[in-house]
């Protein structure tokens, strides 16, 4: 049983956090057809290489792969179709301003269900350079080494 407002995670784009600096995030609804919702409930979704854009005053989601729902046979959807994001006009204008002025991009971070509705978390992101990625990896490795050293020291103290 889930609490009211609790979210059930369907898919997460882990590669986005590796490839981009995520400055901010926005929750948006997604306009889906019935077979897409059923497929999402089965957890059959992939966010790799997906992105969002603002076109003609509407936010659109591209390259999100939602697998076909097998029992629907001929009534199925196109797995890679462009999907509309459900945002208020003021939110769309704010996102559009950031993307146009500052060189940010819109990257879907995760898809989940909240109160029975499919939602997507869109990150306002700036691309990382190769050396930024190396710096992140080096910092992570250093943190792990420190944690290992502290854990080893604690084990020796217990003897």
pTM for this predicted structure: 0.74
Rounded to 5 degrees, φ, ψ at 103 are 75, 25
Position 4 scores a pLDDT of 56
In angstroms, rounded to a whole number, what is the distance separating the alpha carbons of residues 133 and 44? Answer: 29
CATH code given to domain 7-128: 2.40.280.10
Position 6 scores a pLDDT of 72
Position 27 scores a pLDDT of 93
Higher pLDDT, 119 or 159: 119
- Dihedral angle, C-alpha 131, 137, 140, 146, nearest 10 °: -90
The phi-psi region of residue 145 (left if phi > 0; otherwise alpha if psi is between -120 and 50; otherwise beta) is alpha
Higher pLDDT, 17 or 53: 53
The pLDDT of 22-49, averaged and rounded, is 87
Position 62 scores a pLDDT of 92
pLDDT tens track for 47-100: 888 889 999 989 999 998 888 877 777 777 777 888 899 999 999 999 888 888
Position 157 scores a pLDDT of 55
Position 54 scores a pLDDT of 92
Instruction: Break the chain into its structural domains and give their ranges.
Output: 7-128, 129-159
**% the chain with pLDDT above 90:** 24
pLDDT-derived band at 148 (thresholds 50, 70, 90) equals confident
Residue 8, pLDDT > 70, answer: yes
């Amino acid at each position: 049983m889930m609490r009211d407002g609790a979210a059930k995670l369907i898919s997460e784009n882990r590669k986005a956090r590796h490839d981009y600096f995520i400055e901010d995030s926005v929750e948006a609804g997604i306009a889906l057809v019935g077979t897409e919702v059923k497929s999402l409930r089965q957890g059959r979704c992939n966010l790799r290489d997906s992105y969002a854009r603002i076109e003609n005053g509407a936010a659109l989601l591209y390259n999100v792969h939602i697998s076909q729902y097998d029992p629907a046979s001929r009534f199925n959807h196109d797995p890679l179709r462009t999907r509309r994001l459900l945002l208020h006009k003021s939110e769309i204008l704010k996102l559009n301003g950031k993307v146009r002025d500052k060189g940010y991009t819109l990257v879907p971070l995760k898809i989940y269900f909240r109160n029975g509705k499919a939602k997507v978390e869109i990150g306002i992101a700036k691309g990382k350079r190769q050396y930024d990625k190396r710096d992140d990896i080096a910092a992570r490795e250093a943190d792990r080494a420190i944690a290992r050293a502290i854990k080893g020291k604690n084990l020796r103290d217990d003897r």
